[in-house]
């Protein structure tokens, strides 16, 4: 989205290096993410795109041997700074994973989990409302409104993934990170999720890691191409797919390697 | 003699393995393709050696004594002896032949003993001859049969399967046998003592049953108010309850720490250290409870003006709880670790802290497994014997005061069966009735626990 013709930058990463133990996984990544746009990260397996994604909500903290260097600035604030509150950060930056991972709880409890943790609802009515809006936004409401108190693990794969998206948007995050959200789904469920992503970018900034070039072309406005831990090229999806500057990018997109 | 024979057969087995394999190599060297690896030919011959040997040894063990007895007693037939007397004569003969007979030796018995010895030696040598000749014949037959296209792999595999099946059958049959031995004695017990008195009676005083003179006729009325099991059932569950009060919180918390908080290095050392607790013999826990914890509690109680028995339920239950900690901590650690990382990630990504994640996601997900581990702990607590015998007293008090002494099912079984007992006496049979009830309780607990654990496993696979 452009404000007065100027691109609004939501996330600004500068010189990001990531190490797993002694092995360096990311080299000097500088990538700006535009607000209320979908940014796709593509590249062959093991190129570091998921690692970069996990830097953005500090999920790499969970891995003992992982170290992150450099600056990632969101809302004028460096999230790698010691004063950063990870709980608040993750409230602002939601995440959807590769494999649908609903909690073994009811559908309702899956959605109310985040708002409860962050104390966002004062009453049962408010919570009901949050659950309903989140499910509606995730295009799941019609399918589950009569069985909110049945376990979320009983849904189909595509429904589970939309439940996870609803769970992520329940706390009204500014950014949603998606790590190959459709890789475990069939084409119909994939189409539903892609449609949903397009809808969600009105209110959220979305970054999606994907292995499917077609998907990147369909859903994203910007694309970054990673290879061997380096950001080779980034820019508007149109340009990357039609007129890439780098030969490697062209080879990858045309399917010559990867 | 048997040992030498056995060694010889084993050697024969190895030899036939060697010959089988060699024949296979010979066939191979003529550029014919074998249907199995040469080893299988070896195993095949060894099996042809082992099976006949096993069959003959078993048949011999079953029939030799009967036949020898018949031959010995045939000398005494038609002389008007009763069956019991004949048996006695046979036992005397055997004792005399071993040189262990101390009574008056009659010429008849002496003659029988000599006959017995000669029969035995004939039996032994004929056994050796028959076994060896049959083995050699069967191995030779099999050796001849081996050719490039004979099937050896399938019989060998079948044989292995049969051996494994027999092993598990033995374990199952033993269990069934134990249960049956319990059932019959228990039924006898309840013929004398009404089931109602046993289940609802509140006085347990089996020593009273010893007062009876064995020559007197059995009079059921004298046992009323003797075998009321309520106090010991209550004591059992009470002590198990105290034990679980100690074991569940400590075990669970250490399990959670190990699974979620401990670094790889800490876990590497802490887990085996906790499991050492499980390796301490229960008798050691027993004297720890009886000689250290019991008197210590008594002293503390006395200084506070409480009347604490040196053999208190608290001491026994507390130490038993410590014994059970490793079971609960280790099992719940495993269960928590097997909760998929994706659930943790999902929770962290929502901004949950570690303790929130554990409380709201991991613990509920692992709950069935944790309940299973707790039930297994309870069934250990109920079946535990040594600690209770040593530390909680043997008098069956009906009390809910943890500072008094009380007794359990297991401890009472020990009390009843230590020292002299008479079979067919209600006091001895009471032990079987107790054992049966204990068996039923722990069986139910184990079944429920295994069900719960199984259900949990299906969820993530």
More confident: B281 or B424: B281
pLDDT digits (tens, 9 = 90+) for B295-319: 898 899 889 888 888 788 899 999 9
Portion 47-106 of B in contact with A at CB < 8 A = none
Nearest by CB to residue B343, choosing from A57, A59, A101, is: A101
Nearest by CB to residue A171, choosing from B347, B350, B360, is: B350
- Identify whether residues B297 and B385 lie together within a single domain: yes
According to DSSP, residue A70 is labeled E
Cβ within 8 Å, pair A105-B348: no
**B356 touches A113 (CB < 8 A):** no
**Any A CB within 8 A of B351 CB:** yes
Q: What separation in angstroms does the CA of A142 have from each of A126, A180, A222, B442?
A: 20, 25, 32, 49
Cβ within 8 Å, pair B346-A167: yes
Give the range of the structural domain holding residue B407, as residue numbers without chain letter. 223-460
> What integer best gives the mean pLDDT of chain B?
86
Cβ within 8 Å, pair A97-B342: yes
Domain endpoint, select from B99, B115, B150: B150
pLDDT digits (tens, 9 = 90+) for B325-376: 999 999 899 989 989 999 999 999 999 999 999 999 998 888 888 888 898 8
Q: Name the minimum distance, in Å, from the CA of A222 to any CA of chain B.
A: 24
**Is B392 domain-assigned?**
yes
pLDDT digits (tens, 9 = 90+) for A96-151: 999 999 998 899 999 999 999 999 989 999 999 999 999 998 989 999 999 999 98
Please count the residue pairs, one from chain A and one from chain B, whose beta carbons lie less than 8 angstroms apart. 68
Band of residue A1 on the pLDDT scale cut at 50, 70, 90: very low
More confident: B103 or A180: A180
Which chain B residue's Cα is nearest to A98? B342
**Any B CB within 8 A of A97 CB:** yes
**Any B CB within 8 A of A172 CB:** no
Q: What percent of chain A has pLDDT over 90?
A: 69
Nearest by CB to residue A59, choosing from B263, B345, B360, is: B345
pLDDT digits (tens, 9 = 90+) for B201-234: 888 877 766 555 555 555 656 666 778 888 889 9
Which chain B residue's Cα is nearest to A104? B365
Cβ within 8 Å, pair A87-B361: no
Nearest by CB to residue B350, choosing from A64, A104, A117, is: A117
- As for how many domains chain A has, the answer is 1
**Is A145 domain-assigned?**
no
- Identify whether residues B231 and B139 lie together within a single domain: no
**Any A CB within 8 A of B264 CB:** yes
To test the contact with chain B by mutation, choose from A50, A113, A167 the residue with the greatest count of B C-beta atoms within 10 A, namely A113
Q: What separation in angstroms does the CA of B295 have from each of A23, A197, B285, B310?
A: 59, 71, 15, 5
Identify which of B52, B187, B211 has the alpha carbon closest to the alpha carbon of residue B130.
B52
- Identify whether residues B37 and B146 lie together within a single domain: yes
Domain endpoint, select from B103, B131, B150: B150
Q: Name the minimum distance, in Å, from the CA of B376 to any CA of chain A.
A: 24
Length of chain B: 461
**Is B204 domain-assigned?**
no
Task: Give B208's Cβ-side CA count (13 Å radius).
Answer: 15
Q: Name the minimum distance, in Å, from the CA of A188 to any CA of chain B.
A: 24
**A237 touches A254 (CB < 8 A):** no
Cβ within 8 Å, pair B340-A87: no
pLDDT digits (tens, 9 = 90+) for A161-178: 999 999 999 999 999 999
pLDDT of res. A148: 93
Q: Is B313 exposed, middle or buried (0-12, 13-18, 19+ CB in 10 A)?
A: buried
- Identify whether residues B455 and B323 lie together within a single domain: yes
Nearest by CB to residue A167, choosing from B350, B356, B360, is: B350
- Residues in A touching B344 (Cβ below 8 Å): 62
Identify which of B220, B227, B221 has the alpha carbon closest to the alpha carbon of residue B197.
B227
Two tokens at B287?
């004297």
- Identify whether residues B100 and B8 lie together within a single domain: yes
**Is B251 domain-assigned?**
yes
pLDDT of res. B359: 92
- Segment B60-77 shows an average pLDDT of 85
**Any B CB within 8 A of A57 CB:** yes
> What integer best gives the mean pLDDT of chain A?
90
**Any A CB within 8 A of B26 CB:** no
**Any B CB within 8 A of A188 CB:** no
**A135 touches A166 (CB < 8 A):** yes
- Identify whether residues B286 and B419 lie together within a single domain: yes
Portion 385-424 of B in contact with A at CB < 8 A = none
Nearest by CB to residue A113, choosing from B344, B350, B459, is: B350
**Is B195 domain-assigned?**
no
Q: Is A71 helix (H, G, I), strand (E, B) or coil?
A: strand
Band of residue A24 on the pLDDT scale cut at 50, 70, 90: very high
CA B153/CA B160 separation, integer angstroms: 11
Whichever domain contains A69, its CATH number is: 3.40.50.300
Q: Name the minimum distance, in Å, from the CA of B268 to any CA of chain A.
A: 16
* pLDDT of B75 above 50: yes
**Is B214 domain-assigned?**
no
CA A35/CA B92 separation, integer angstroms: 105
More confident: B109 or A233: A233
- Identify whether residues B234 and B142 lie together within a single domain: no
**Is A129 domain-assigned?**
no
**Any B CB within 8 A of A58 CB:** no
Give the range of the structural domain holding residue A16, as residue numbers without chain letter. 2-101+174-253
pLDDT of res. B352: 92
- Segment A11-28 shows an average pLDDT of 92
Which chain B residue's Cα is nearest to A112? B350
**Any A CB within 8 A of B347 CB:** yes
Identify which of B433, B427, B423, B396 has the alpha carbon closest to the alpha carbon of residue B212.
B427
- Residues in A touching B352 (Cβ below 8 Å): 87, 113, 117
CA A21/CA A13 separation, integer angstroms: 22
Q: Name the minimum distance, in Å, from the CA of A94 to any CA of chain B.
A: 6
**Is A7 domain-assigned?**
yes
pLDDT of res. B461: 40
Domain endpoint, select from B113, B133, B150: B150
Nearest by CB to residue B351, choosing from A62, A64, A87, is: A87
- Residues in B touching A87 (Cβ below 8 Å): 351-353
- Segment A196-217 shows an average pLDDT of 92
Length of chain A: 258
**Is B173 domain-assigned?**
no
**Is A15 domain-assigned?**
yes
**Any B CB within 8 A of A194 CB:** no
- As for how many domains chain B has, the answer is 2
pLDDT digits (tens, 9 = 90+) for B78-102: 777 788 888 888 888 888 888 777 7
To test the contact with chain A by mutation, choose from B346, B361, B370 the residue with the greatest count of A C-beta atoms within 10 A, namely B346
Cβ within 8 Å, pair B360-A113: yes
Q: What percent of chain A has pLDDT over 70?
A: 97
Cβ within 8 Å, pair A103-B365: yes
Which chain A residue's Cα is nearest to B354? A62
**Is B439 domain-assigned?**
yes
**Is B404 domain-assigned?**
yes
């Amino acid at each position: 989205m452009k404000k007065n013709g100027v691109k609004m930058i939501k996330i600004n990463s500068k010189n990001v290096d990531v190490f797993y133990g002694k092995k360096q996984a990311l080299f000097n990544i500088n990538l700006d993410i535009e607000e209320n746009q979908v940014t796709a990260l593509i590249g062959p397996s093991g190129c570091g795109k998921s690692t970069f994604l996990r830097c953005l909500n500090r999920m790499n903290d969970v891995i003992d041997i992982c170290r992150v260097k450099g600056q990632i600035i969101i809302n004028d604030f460096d999230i790698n700074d010691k004063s950063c509150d990870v709980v608040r950060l993750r409230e602002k930056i939601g995440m959807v994973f590769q494999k649908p991972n609903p909690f073994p709880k009811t559908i309702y409890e899956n959605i109310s989990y985040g708002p409860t943790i962050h104390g966002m609802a004062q009453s049962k009515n408010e919570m009901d409302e949050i659950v309903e809006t989140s499910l509606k936004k995730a295009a799941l409401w019609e399918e589950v409104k009569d069985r909110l108190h049945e376990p979320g693990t009983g849904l189909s794969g595509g429904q589970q993934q939309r439940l996870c998206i609803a769970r992520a948007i329940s706390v009204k995050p500014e950014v949603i990170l998606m790590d190959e959200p459709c890789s475990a789904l069939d084409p119909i469920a994939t189409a539903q999720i892609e449609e949903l992503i397009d809808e969600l970018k009105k209110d959220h900034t979305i970054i999606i890691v994907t292995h499917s070039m077609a998907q990147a072309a369909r859903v994203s406005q910007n694309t970054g191409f990673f290879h061997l831990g380096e950001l080779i090229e980034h820019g508007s999806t149109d340009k990357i797919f039609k007129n890439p500057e780098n030969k490697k990018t062209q080879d990858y997109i045309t399917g010559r390697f990867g | 003699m048997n040992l030498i024979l056995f060694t010889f057969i084993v050697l024969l087995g190895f030899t036939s393995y060697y010959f089988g394999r060699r024949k296979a190599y010979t066939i191979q060297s003529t550029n014919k393709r074998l249907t199995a690896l040469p080893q299988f030919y070896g195993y095949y011959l060894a099996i042809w050696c082992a099976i006949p040997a096993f069959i003959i040894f078993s048949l011999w063990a079953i029939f030799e004594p009967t036949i020898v007895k018949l031959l010995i007693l045939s000398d005494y037939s038609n002389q008007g002896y009763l069956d019991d007397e004949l048996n006695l004569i046979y036992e005397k003969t055997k004792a005399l032949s071993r040189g262990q007979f101390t009574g008056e030796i009659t010429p008849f018995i002496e003659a029988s003993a000599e006959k017995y010895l000669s029969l035995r030696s004939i039996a032994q040598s004929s056994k050796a001859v028959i076994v060896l000749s049959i083995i050699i014949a069967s191995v030779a037959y099999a050796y001849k049969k081996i050719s490039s296209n004979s099937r050896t792999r399938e019989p060998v595999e079948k044989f292995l399967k049969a051996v494994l099946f027999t092993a598990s059958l033995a374990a199952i049959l033993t269990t069934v046998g134990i249960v049956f031995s319990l059932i019959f004695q228990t039924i006898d017990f309840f013929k004398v003592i009404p089931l109602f008195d046993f289940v609802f009676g509140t006085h347990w005083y089996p020593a009273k049953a010893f007062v009876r003179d064995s020559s007197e006729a059995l009079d059921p009325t004298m046992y009323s108010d003797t075998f009321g099991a309520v106090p010991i059932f209550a004591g059992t569950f009470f002590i198990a309850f105290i034990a679980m009060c100690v074991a569940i919180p400590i075990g669970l918390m250490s399990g959670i720490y190990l699974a979620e908080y401990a670094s790889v290095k800490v876990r590497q050392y802490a887990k085996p250290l906790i499991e050492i607790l499980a390796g301490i013999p229960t008798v050691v826990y027993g004297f720890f409870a009886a000689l250290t914890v019991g008197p210590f509690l008594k002293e503390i109680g006395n200084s506070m003006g409480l009347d604490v028995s040196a053999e208190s339920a608290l001491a026994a239950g507390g130490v038993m709880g410590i014994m059970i900690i490793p079971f609960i901590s280790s099992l719940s650690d495993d269960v928590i670790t097997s909760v998929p990382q994706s659930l943790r990630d999902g929770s962290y990504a929502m901004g949950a802290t570690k303790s929130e994640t554990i409380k709201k996601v991991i613990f509920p997900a692992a709950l069935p497994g944790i309940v299973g581990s707790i039930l297994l702990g309870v069934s250990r607590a109920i079946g535990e014997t040594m600690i209770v015998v040593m530390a909680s007293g043997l008098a069956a008090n009906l009390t809910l005061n943890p500072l008094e002494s009380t007794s359990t099912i297991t401890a009472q079984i020990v009390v009843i069966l230590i020292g002299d007992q008479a079979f067919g006496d209600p006091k001895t049979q009471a032990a079987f009735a107790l054992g049966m009830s204990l068996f039923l309780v722990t069986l139910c607990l184990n079944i429920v626990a295994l069900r719960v654990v199984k259900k949990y496993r299906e969820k993530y696979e």
